[in-house]
Amino acid sequence: MSAQLQFRDVTLGYDRHPAVHHLSGEVAQGALLAVVGPNGAGKSTLFRGLVGILKPLAGAISLRLPRSASPASRTAASARCRAARCSACCSPGCCCRTPG
């Protein structure tokens, strides 16, 4: 599996005051990850960096997002879903999740 998320010597913080120091590592596709720590440890700061609200003071965060499904595959998934009269989501492109 390839890494979907990579941290390379990342430092995140506010007004040049670091909250997360020199974080390095990677998260593989399909991995489950828990971020735990006491109040003020930098958990929210880390997530703000991940989504791009906060730019790293140093280092880099690489997030490789999967390509979205093509319109044709979404239509096919929706048709399969309707045919089965599903009431729960069976796939990301399912009619239960997409209006129409």
The candidate with the shortest Cα–Cα distance to 84, out of 93, 92, 94, is: 94
Element (H, E) at 13: strand 3-14
Judge contact between 12 and 18, C-beta under 8 A: yes
Same domain, 54 and 15: yes
Element (H, E) at 23: strand 17-28
Same domain, 79 and 47: no
CA distance 28 to 59: 19
Q: What is the pLDDT of residues 43-75, one digit of tens each?
A: 999 999 988 899 999 999 998 876 665 566 556
Domain that holds residue 57: 3-63
Same domain, 73 and 30: no
pLDDT at 3: 75
3 state DSSP class of 27: strand
Same domain, 73 and 94: yes
Same domain, 35 and 57: yes
